[in-house]
Amino acid sequence: MTKLLQESSCRYKTLPVIDTMKRIELSSSTEAYIWAPRVLAGAQLEEQTAALLTIKGGLIASVAHVPRGELPGRITSHPGFYPLAEGTILLPALIDAHVHLSLDGESGQERSRPDESGEALLPRVRRHWEAYDACGIGAVRDGGDRAMAGLRLRRLLAEEGASGPWIVAAGQAIYKQGGYGSFLGPGCSSMEEIFASLQRLAAAGVDQGKILLSGIVSFEEYGRVERSRWTLEELKAVVREGHRLGLRMMAHASSAEAVELALRAGVDSIEHGYFITGEQLREMGARRIAWIPTIIPVAVQARNPLSRCRPGRRAIISRIYREQMAKLSLALQEGVSLGVGTDAGAPGVRHGESLLEEMLLYRRAGLTNRAILQAATATNASILGLDRHGMGTLKTGRKPRLIGVAGNPLAALEALKKVDYYFY
């Protein structure tokens, strides 16, 4: 058993304090105990006090109420006993459902060039992954890159037996040649090529398939998005093939037209979905199709001093931002499986630290802290398919991938700015 493997630091833009986080590896431990003054347990994040978690064979074997003073000596003297400090609350580690590990988040210019190999990209991708690790984030879903560096890193980490954030990888994105996405994959010119790409990706071990249905949103003209190059029949066939290969299918859709196509074709999650309609959200709720609205890339542009120089542009960005914010509450009312993803790596969106910023935007949009925490833990785990692997919820039979923070995030999400304990 490894105890307090190493100390790492997490820096948040909004809180420029470097502090230490205790990292404790439990996945390979045969027996361990965590005692926490408070925990957020189960799907409803129910608050329980004086909780003793018994870990056996890398899973939570039980969660019991035992006051600190009543803990038996055989537990308090056990080498795998971790009592958390006064005022600490233990909860599932957060998950970011939409990131681009190969992009730097600075200018967006540092993209994989066609001649750049996966090997050359690997150090950068690893550095970005480490930013999630330093923030105590439990998992990320990587939207892929041309050289499949995200998938390579996932393999490498497994070979090294490294711990830290789990990567759910799309490998490369599938799109029609000539359309948006040249930094995410090679592009396909026929349906045969698309099927071959999907089969090649599945054989390479990707977890999900990603289809690009539209371009990105224009900040120069409200509502302008490059039209989708897909017909419904083509898209249906691709989604069917992805499902046959055992892949969940995520769709990059940045217009109401693209969202409509994605819905009709039966994808599993809709990414971005700017200009999504109330009607579409209702259908997504009824059919349990997830939505990852990625607000922060737009919020960053709305705050950008450069866009201030051009009032027209700024007005368009602000409008897209406000409309997306207004749809969050509606999505929850309609029963949509609402995830949290940052699009980290996009211009101005930093790896790791942006997840809390995205959650704070959900708060500003009127969602309760409980709903936001559920979205970033249990809902994100199910969107990523990690619930099957025991992640996203603190309860018996699940993996102890947990964080401990001072203060209660149900009262103020800012408590998540500083993670004191990271169990994995």
Residue with smaller CB distance to Zn ion, 118 or 143? 143
CA dist., res. 152 & res. 418, Å (int): 30
- DSSP code, position 70: G
Residue with smaller CB distance to Zn ion, 176 or 252? 252
Residue with smaller CB distance to Zn ion, 104 or 343? 343
Q: Confirm or reject binding of residue 25 to Zn ion (CB under 5 A).
A: no
Find the length of the chain. Answer: 424
CA dist., res. 144 & res. 351, Å (int): 15
Q: How far apart are CB 297 and Zn ion at their closest, in Å?
A: 8
Q: How far apart are CB 260 and Zn ion at their closest, in Å?
A: 20
- At which residue do the structure tokens 């960005």 appear? 317
Q: Confirm or reject binding of residue 343 to Zn ion (CB under 5 A).
A: yes
Residue with smaller CB distance to Zn ion, 252 or 313? 252
Number of residues that bind Zn ion (CB under 5 A): 2
**Contact flags string 27-66 toward Zn ion, x per CB under 5 A:** ----------------------------------------
Query: Which range binds Zn ion by CB under 5 A, 64-72, 118-126, 132-140, 338-346?
Result: 338-346
User: Strand, helix or coil at 86?
Assistant: coil
Name which of residues 228 to 267 contact Zn ion (CB under 5 A).
none
Q: How far apart are CB 296 and Zn ion at their closest, in Å?
A: 11
- At which residue do the structure tokens 């101005």 appear? 348
Query: Which range binds Zn ion by CB under 5 A, 50-58, 83-91, 158-166, 335-343?
Result: 335-343
Q: Confirm or reject binding of residue 96 to Zn ion (CB under 5 A).
A: no
The H or E element that residue 280 is part of is helix 278-287
Q: How far apart are CB 170 and Zn ion at their closest, in Å?
A: 10
Q: How far apart are CB 98 and Zn ion at their closest, in Å?
A: 6
Q: How far apart are CB 125 and Zn ion at their closest, in Å?
A: 15
Residue with smaller CB distance to Zn ion, 251 or 402? 251
Q: Taking a C-beta distance cutoff of 8 angstroms, is the pair 293, 324 a contact?
A: yes
The amino acid at residue 6 is: Q
Q: How far apart are CB 343 and Zn ion at their closest, in Å?
A: 4
CA dist., res. 96 & res. 35, Å (int): 27
For Zn ion, which residue has the nearest CB? Answer: 343
Residue 27: burial class (beta carbons within 10 Å; 0-12, 13-18, 19+): middle
Within its chain, how far is the Cα of 158 from the centroid?
Answer: 19
In this structure, the dihedral spanned by the alpha carbons of residues 297, 300, 306 and 312, taken in order and rounded to 10 degrees, is 70
Query: Which range binds Zn ion by CB under 5 A, 35-43, 135-143, 258-266, 314-322?
Result: 135-143
Residue with smaller CB distance to Zn ion, 25 or 343? 343
CA dist., res. 235 & res. 257, Å (int): 13
Q: Which of 241, 249, 244 is nearest to 385 (CA)?
A: 249
Residue with smaller CB distance to Zn ion, 275 or 423? 275
Residue with smaller CB distance to Zn ion, 107 or 189? 107
The neighbouring-strand residues paired with 405 are 89, 419
Residue with smaller CB distance to Zn ion, 272 or 314? 272
Give me the sheet containing 290-292, strands edge to edge. Answer: 173-174, 208-212, 248-253, 269-272, 290-292
Query: Which range binds Zn ion by CB under 5 A, 75-83, 191-199, 336-344, 406-414?
Result: 336-344
Q: How far apart are CB 144 and Zn ion at their closest, in Å?
A: 9
H runs (alpha helix) in 149-218: 149-160, 191-204
Q: How far apart are CB 419 and Zn ion at their closest, in Å?
A: 25
Query: Which range binds Zn ion by CB under 5 A, 17-25, 137-145, 163-171, 361-369?
Result: 137-145
Angle CA(348)–CA(349)–CA(350) in degrees, nearest 5?
A: 110
Residue with smaller CB distance to Zn ion, 40 or 292? 292
Name which of residues 354 to 383 contact Zn ion (CB under 5 A).
none
Angle CA(171)–CA(175)–CA(179) in degrees, nearest 5?
A: 130
Query: Which range binds Zn ion by CB under 5 A, 35-43, 128-136, 172-180, 339-347?
Result: 339-347
Residue with smaller CB distance to Zn ion, 134 or 250? 250
Q: How far apart are CB 341 and Zn ion at their closest, in Å?
A: 8
Q: How far from 279 is each of 225, 230, 252, 417, CA to CA, in Å? A: 20, 22, 19, 36
DSSP secondary structure, 236-277, as one string: HHHHHHHHHTT-EEEEEE-SHHHHHHHHHHT-SEEEE-TT--
Instruction: Give contact residues for Zn ion (rule: CB under 5 A).
Output: 143, 343
